[in-house]
Amino acid sequence: MDRWDQLNALFKQTNAKITFGLNALIGKRKSDNSTLWVGEWNSKNARDFMKYTASKGYMIDSYELGNELCASGVSARLEADQYAKDIIQLKEIVKELYPDRETQPKVLGPAGFYDTEWFKTFLEVSGPHVVDGVTHHIYNLGAGVDKTLINKIQDPYFLDEIAETFKDLENVVKEFGPWAGPWVGESGGAYNSGGKDVSHTFVNGFLVYCRQSLIGGNYGLLNTTSFIPNPDYYGALLWHRLMGNTVLATNHFGSPYLRTYTHCSKKKPGITMLIINMSNSTSIDVSVTNDENKYPHSYRMTVNGSNQREEYHLTPKDGNIQSDVVLLNGTPLQLTSSRDIPPLNPKIVDSSSPDQSRP
């Protein structure tokens, strides 16, 4: 377990939240069907690992059972009722090894692609307060080798498709598992490691709000050989620093190539708005009004009591959306001489002026 000990030292140092995926096929066998696995889950290996982890005081946020075994699966699949029985067994082990409810890890599943009937059955059979997060995977751009990937990622239809899938999952969870929450457990835009000329470049930030890996594949946040951050790393870092947990309803009546998302700010009073211009030819001026304000013409955002706002404009080097270099307010983001992340400083503008989102 030396490797696990070393990893936990890293987790503690970086204050990381850890979800650990457990093998759900141990003890099972293939049926006559080429991909269906049947039989009871043998939880001994998982229990021994979890017991060691708990004895060392390692903090685990959640345990997830299996990977992409739901519905038609990927290479292997399980029936929903059997998977539900297996996850009940996992919940009992978690309750035994972590009796303190305050520090008890969550139980997640099924960690695969959404299918309405499969997810319904899973939640009905597993029953109340077994699964805490209903995880699903999103790779709605298709295969990374698709030659049209660069076109798909610029098409707002695919963002709308993600929203519809999540709404469907959310509705099923509300009806059949209201004690749980719908989670995106894995995403990278395009599956099979993403696209080699797309997924590690600036354009991937148009679509992917959740990345499958820190390092690995074309959709990793870091370059796999140099460990230099890819453009999405900086987008994710700004999101982490600026966007709070409270999501605000945001609407606009402009082009579908304009995407807007608003949260309460993370570390100060006010709101933080993410604006994405997916158009390759049109600049868009954006003015913000508060729908609940009876006098929207007088609505002004302030910074430290002044009529100013902070802006962070991310653009690709030389206007090339397939560039590996991203600019913040016109300045390339590059590691410092000591290999640290550079300062991410905003520009301060008059809050009464519209924001210009360039193509």
Contact 249, 260 (CB under 8 A): no
Active site includes 292? no
Catalytic residue among 40, 64, 68, 292: 68
Contact 284, 277 (CB under 8 A): yes
Contact 136, 163 (CB under 8 A): no
Active site includes 68? yes
**Distance between start and end Cα atoms, the chain:** 50
Task: Report helix, strand and coil shares of the chain as percent, to nearest 5.
Answer: 30, 25, 50
H or E segment at 238? helix 231-242
| Closest alpha carbon to 42 in 29, 30, 25, 54 | 25
C-alpha distance from residue 106 to each of 44, 59, 227 (Å): 19, 12, 31
Catalytic residue among 64, 164, 186, 311: 186
C-alpha distance from residue 70 to each of 73, 111, 280 (Å): 5, 8, 38
- Look up residue 244 and give its two tokens: 């709070």
Bridge partner list, 83: none
Amino acid (one-letter) located at 291:
D
As annotated, the active-site residues are: 68, 186
